Amino acid sequence: MLSVKIRFTKNPMPNLFGEPMINDTFLFGIIRRMCCLCILLPGVFCLLMPSALATSDSQAPRENPPHQPRASSSHALGILRIGMNLADVENLDPHTGTGAGERVISDMVFSRLVRYKPGNCIEIEPDMAEQLPEPEMLDDRQVWKFRLRQGVMFHPGLGVPPHEMTAADVLFSLQRPKNLMAFRYGEEYNEMTLEKTGTHSFSIILKRPLSPNLFLPVLARDPGGFILSRHSEKSVRTHPVGTGPFQFDKITPGQKITLTANAEYFRGQPHLHRVELLSVPDADERKTRLKSGELDMADDMELSSLARESGTSDSIATDFQGFGEIVMIHFNILGRPLDDRRVRLAIAYALNKEIFQKQFDHDILRPVDSPVPSHLMPGGLRPEKVSLLGLDYPADPGKARKLLTEAGYPQGFPLDLVTSERPAYRKYYESMRDQLAQAGIECRLRVVPHADMHDMIRKDANAVVVYIGWRPDADTVLTRFFHSDSIVRIGVRPDTNFSHYRKIDRLIEDARAETDADEQIRLWRYAQLMVLDYLVAYPLHHINLNPVRLRNKRFDYGYELLTPEPNYPRITETSRKVNPDK
């Protein structure tokens, strides 16, 4: 009988069947060459047979050798190297890790129940769910019934082999935020009751019905929507295990984090076979290494003239990251002279959005015409609709002076205003001061620390408030800026209703309670038409002051950037390098 030694290599190569190949050593080399398949194939079959068996919900998964990326002529494999500051990467738990470096890892390693389509922050599609469900009303409760994809495998973990994702993992993941005191989105998940209805099915039950416009983004947007393996929670901070296109490989503290392609990813094998996040704390060094070809991407770069110069080069592109913020001017309608709509109209006609734009790099600003930006979230007003109704108030200094005269202010009037010392706020206030001076309105500005400005405008220090901020959906925008509960100082829940406007409370509340998505959007739009017609606020711009990402143009995200992306590079199975490493 032949004596045979069989061992798994440290980095097993894939065989014809895509599984790790056994490295065998025979006593006789000639017999090894001629007979290896005959002798080893039954043994390999027996070793691999358990991997085909489904793991039950109640038991830990059986041993199963890890899958490795398969070489394929249909995939351009390569290594993506991203330079970033990894100093704050200490926690790889997707529910509690909040740094940009931690988020980019979570997004590649984990999947969600539903997700935003890559490159599109408006359209939601199924991820672990087979399809987007339609809610049902049962006993005065709203029920969302989900069916999960079958055969989706978790990556191998520390002592935990690959195993199938089931409803038990999804329920574990969605319940987890409720138990994490530090989890900032826990309140939204506290509203959910979860019921398992099968191995690959479950229901989410809400006491307060929500439309798809408000419910699905909670699962797609918040980190609580990431799905974890319940068998690997103990090691998730240092060795995350998910079902995403890339799996965690190793971390070299202070130097590098490596992810490898998940060959069994349900959307298809990634084009890239490895992603390396390299710790390069110095921004200038990141830029230098990008230009030299050592890096494919330099993350978290300040928007400077040098960054813009790099972005217009033949080989380097500049990508804006993050959703940015919305700039609006709010008018306090309680006191004179802004209680007169003609005065508010005069201010709007005296302002020119293009002049504001000249104070900034052109690429970071985009004009908006409604409080809810239509290019960023459902429920916004199309610019052409606003213009057709005459609610865009294009710059017209002559009309501005005429309206002031009609209102009894032919010589204008003074306004005492405070502004933050931060450059963005100062530029807006100072540009507004200069433009309104042409109509006879004298803005006397006082520069204060940023925190002091926020405190003072919430005490009605300014009759005209320039506010720069981001709200994630139409309901939040309308509630926090225009519902009477949010009126500064005197509201039930004082927030950022600087105008003291009270006329659309019912519309906001009816829209929030509406479960028909189209009708909800109609109500949101009608509420904004009232805001613009009464002119309690004047939308100016969508501004993105976040750091930028520099990218070698040989790297292709693999999807079209239709809307702003998160504050981290979103790498998917379709991402590739035109000339990958060999």
Domain ranges of the chain: 4-52, 79-321+547-577, 325-543
In this structure, CATH architecture of domain 325-543: Roll (3.10)
The residue written with tokens 């110069």 in the block is 309
User: What tens-digit pLDDT sequence spans the chain (582 residues)?
Assistant: 333 333 333 333 333 223 333 333 333 333 333 333 333 334 433 333 334 334 445 444 544 333 344 444 334 359 999 998 888 788 899 988 877 778 889 999 999 999 999 988 889 999 999 999 999 999 889 999 999 999 999 999 999 999 999 999 999 999 887 766 444 444 566 678 999 999 999 999 998 999 999 999 989 987 888 999 999 999 999 999 999 999 999 998 889 999 999 999 999 999 999 999 999 999 889 999 999 989 999 987 776 544 455 445 678 888 877 778 999 999 999 999 999 999 999 999 999 999 998 888 767 888 999 999 998 899 999 999 999 999 999 999 999 999 999 999 999 999 999 999 999 999 999 999 999 999 999 999 999 999 999 999 999 999 999 999 989 899 999 999 999 999 999 999 999 999 999 999 999 999 999 999 999 999 999 999 999 999 999 999 999 877 788 899 999 999 988 877 666 788 999 999 986 444
The residue written with tokens 């959910």 in the block is 192
> What one-character-per-residue DSSP string does 460-517 give?
T--SEEEEEE--SSHHHHHHHHHSGGGBTTTSSS--SBTT---TTHHHHHHHHH---H
Helix (H) or strand (E) holding 385: helix 383-388
Cis previous bond, 337, omega within 30? yes
The residue written with tokens 């002051």 in the block is 545
In this structure, CATH architecture of domain 79-321+547-577: 3-Layer(aba) Sandwich (3.40)
CA distances from 17 to 44, 63, 263, 428, 536 (A): 11, 19, 12, 63, 66
The residue written with tokens 């002091």 in the block is 452
Cβ-proximal residues to 41 (8 Å cutoff; 6+ apart), any chain: none
The phi and psi torsions of 7 (rounded to 5 degrees) equal -150, 155
Helix (H) or strand (E) holding 556: strand 555-556
Helix (H) or strand (E) holding 403: helix 397-406
Q: Are 156 and 66 in contact (CB under 8 A)?
A: yes
pTM given for the model = 0.78
User: Shortest CA distance to 380 belongs to which of 266, 524, 549?
Assistant: 524
The residue written with tokens 């490895």 in the block is 274
**Rounded Cα gap, residues 468 and 356, in angstroms:** 14
Measured between its terminal Cα atoms, the distance across the chain in Å is: 43
